[in-house]
Amino acid sequence: MKKLTAICFMLTTAACLFSGCSKAQEASQDKTAVQTDKNILIMYLSRTKNTKAVAEMIHKNVGGTLTALELQNPYPEDYKTIVSQVAKENETGFLPPLKTKIDNIEKFDVVFVGFPTWGMQLPPPMKSFLKQYNLEGKTVIPFNTNAGYGIGSTFQTVKELCPKSTVLEGFSTKGGIERDGVLFVMEGGKEKEVQTEVQNWLKKIGFN
């Protein structure tokens, strides 16, 4: 009887130990996942909230820190006025000062950068961000929304401004057409379609 009791005690102890190890392993895995999330920064510029919607889709899939790129002096609401202002900034090379500050850019290993196509070029605020922060040695991943005219020179400019970064294949989708009064479109069937496209793209570049 004593032997049977001893055996039962040993089995119970072993079961508890294995259970504890399993829970510890799960906790370790959870901790690792959180740490991985913290190594990803998703920085986006969005005027009509279409790029913001894509940024949120990416965030839902990969986690990390989601941050909107904002200016010290916001652009005017009027479409024609902002088009004229951005054209002048592109001509002169002016880089608008940023309100958004990243105090610990060095902790991020992966930086997603999202933006609309403005005048077939990379928006000046995103140029400001890429020139202001040192992304050397990091993985940079561009994503874009546009009015149907494509990415223009935007992805190429990202590569030029990040010469010491690994720039992965970017993602682009059609958003609104502000010129025609078509603003936010990432809802309903369009939203589901883009969600699937984003998931397929992330899987292709190694973010399952």
Asked if residue 17 has pLDDT above 90, the reply is no
What's the mean pLDDT when you consider all of the chain? 87
Question: Which pLDDT tens digit goes with each residue over 157-169?
Answer: 999 999 999 999 9
Once rounded to an integer, what is the mean pLDDT over residues 140-167? 98
C-alpha distances (whole Å) from 20 to each of 6, 11, 24, 100 are 21, 14, 6, 44
Range 38-204: architecture per CATH: 3-Layer(aba) Sandwich (3.40)
pLDDT of residue 32: 31
Of 46, 74, 77, 71, give the one whose Cα is nearest residue 176: 46
Question: Which pLDDT tens digit goes with each residue over 73-117?
Answer: 999 999 999 999 999 999 999 999 999 999 999 999 999 999 999
Q: Which of 10-19, 77-86, 155-164, 188-197 has the lowest mean pLDDT?
A: 10-19
Asked if residue 12 has pLDDT above 90, the reply is no
Beta strands in 4-93 (DSSP E): 40-44, 65-68
pLDDT of residue 37: 52
CB atoms within 10 A of CB 150: 13
Question: Which pLDDT tens digit goes with each residue over 28-75?
Answer: 333 333 334 559 999 999 999 999 999 999 999 999 999 999 999 999
pTM: 0.82
Q: How far apart are CA 4 and CA 108, in angstroms?
A: 57
b/e per residue 54-82 (b: at least 16 CB within 10 A): bbbbbbebbbbbbeebeeeeebeeeeeeb
Q: Structural domain boundaries of the chain?
A: 38-204
